Amino acid sequence: MTSDGYITRGLILAHRTFRFLLHWMLGVIYFGFHAIAYNVLPYLPVTIVVWCGMNQSGGYLDGVAPDGLMGLGLGELAVPSILAKAGLVRNSFSMCFNEDDSGRIFFGDLGPARQQSTSFLPLDGIYKTYIVGVEGCCIGNSCLKQTNFRALIDSGTSFTFLPDDVYEKITKEFDRHVNATRSSYEGSPWRYCYESSSQESLEVPSLTLVFPLNNSFVVHNPVFTIHGDQGVLGFCLAIQPADGDIGTIGQNFMTGYRMVFDRESLKLAWSRSNCQDLSDGKRMPLASPSGTPLNPLPTNEQQSSPGGHAVAPAVAGRAPSKPSAASSQLIASRFCLLRLLPELLLLVNIISVFKADTGII
């Protein structure tokens, strides 16, 4: 169960060895939607836990229910944790979403030397999920006051949700900068939509998230284009209000970026990317000279600080309703796994291809 009303029933295939098609690249495991295009793809036996969904209910019936989940959280059963514990890669991974809706994931990636970053924040004193602190938001050259908030970084959410007070400030300022007629479209979950056409050049004001130490995250494309039988009808600002004081930065904000989840340093890093290669990635040893991992992931007892729907963005009508209140318990249960559909599809294909070889399905 991932959240209220969203339930997947099925089978858990635990303690099984799956052979992944992976490309080894100087200490980085490359696992992506296009990985099978490479000529050198060694087998890498890795024991993981796979959940195969069979019966979907609740809100999943209105959207795209996943056929399985890949654990990318901070727990010991997450794929990055297993790979790092086995000494195969560093305890970090990155995801990259391209504008053509494809995605890639790189296990062990620490990102390029020139990237911006911000620290993860604990939730109730524990690092249990990927929470960051946004200090402010800017629309164009106008930076708004009192737009600081905490946000969950979740690739399994197609679009972005902001706390209600921040949402109101951003949407009103965005509307003030848009030179287009307000409109509405059937099935759209967004309030701020505008008329447009294929012949018009779409001019949308920039949206920037400001993080501590003046690190900035410029959203590449914060709008969702509405298409009809005759082409483009208009566009909507693809942001929705969320209950509580914790927002969700979804897949649409991450498009065009290489998002690095550095679990060793407990920080999120980002850099613009076309998602094609890792030629500029950091290549660091898997362990320190003493043989112990550099900044190993804390155990559950050590993670206390000193003092909780994957919907295809191709169909606006299938966007999720606003998330439940962001209590710490709900966030921990709802977002303990990041869901990356392209990788799940690849996983299904790999298991199918090697069915006879593994003898486990």
Distance CA 77, CA 47 (A): 10
pLDDT above 70: residue 181: yes
Mean pLDDT for 148-175 is 95
Question: Hey, what are 94's tokens?
Answer: 């990155």
User: Which pTM does this prediction carry?
Assistant: 0.68
Three-class SS state of 26:
coil
Instruction: Please name which of 21, 32, 20 lies closest in space to residue 276, comparing C-alpha atoms.
Output: 32
Task: Give pLDDT, residue 22.
Answer: 43
Q: Tokens 């939730």: give the residue.
A: 123
**In angstroms, rounded to a whole number, what is the distance separating the alpha carbons of residues 305 and 313?**
36
Confidence of residue 261 (pLDDT cuts 50, 70, 90): very high
Residue 198: which pLDDT band, with cuts at 50, 70 and 90? Answer: low
What are the tokens at 200? 């018009």
- The predicted pLDDT at position 231 comes to 86
Mean pLDDT of the chain, nearest integer: 70
pLDDT of residue 87: 86
- Which of the residue ranges 24-28, 91-95, 256-260 would you say has the lowest mean pLDDT? 24-28
Number of residues assigned to the chain? 361
pLDDT at site 88: 82
Could you tell me what percent of the chain has a pLDDT over 70?
A: 57
* CA distances for 241 relative to 47, 167, 210, 329, angstroms: 40, 6, 19, 20
Each residue's pLDDT tens digit, 278-301? 555 554 444 433 343 333 323 333
Burial of 272 (0-12, 13-18, 19+ CB in 10 A): exposed
Nearest-angstrom CA–CA distance, 109 and 218? 22
pLDDT, position 127: 93
CA distance 283 to 154: 26
Question: Over 50: is that where the pLDDT of 348 sits?
Answer: no
Q: Once rounded to an integer, what is the mean pLDDT over residues 11-15?
A: 43
Region 263-270 average pLDDT: 97
DSSP state of 60: G
Predicted confidence band of residue 66 (pLDDT cuts 50, 70, 90):
low
Range scoring the smallest mean pLDDT among 12-21, 110-119, 266-275? 12-21
Is residue 145 pLDDT above 60, yes or no? yes
**Would you say the C-alpha torsion 29, 31, 35, 36 has a positive or negative sign?**
positive
87, with CB counted inside 10 A (0-12, 13-18, 19+), is exposed
Beta strands 136-139 and 43-58, pairing class: unpaired
Q: Give whichever of 75-84, 232-241, 323-332 has the largest mean pLDDT.
A: 232-241
Q: How far apart are CA 96 and CA 33, in angstroms?
A: 11
Q: Are 129 and 155 in contact (CB under 8 A)?
A: no
Query: Do β-strands 246-249 and 149-153 pair in parallel, antiparallel, or remain unpaired?
Result: parallel
Please tell me which residue, 156 or 346, carries the higher pLDDT value. 156
Q: Indicate if the alpha-carbon torsion angle 103, 109, 112, 114 is positive or negative.
A: positive
Tell me the two tokens of residue 161: 């949700």
Q: How confident is the model over 183-196, as pLDDT tens digits?
A: 999 889 999 999 98
Q: What's the mean pLDDT in 29-33?
A: 43
Whether 154 and 170 have beta carbons less than 8 Å apart is answered as no
Rounded to the nearest 5°, which phi and psi values hold at 200? -85, 140
User: Which CA distances in Å does 107 have to 83, 145, 154, 292?
Assistant: 8, 38, 17, 19
What is the pLDDT, as a whole number, of residue 18?
41
pLDDT the model gives residue 310: 32
If one compares 274 and 239, the residue with the highest pLDDT of the two is 239
Question: HSE on the CB side for 178, CA within 13 Å?
Answer: 24
Pairwise CA distance, residues 56 & 67, whole Å = 9
Q: Which one, of 94, 114, 115, 97, lies nearest residue 105 by Cα? A: 94
> Edge to edge, what strands does the sheet with 43-58 contain?
6-21, 43-58, 68-69
- Mean pLDDT to the nearest integer, 118-123: 96
Which CATH code is given to the segment(s) 6-358?
2.40.70.10
- pLDDT for 359 beyond 80: no
Give the pLDDT score at 258.
Answer: 94
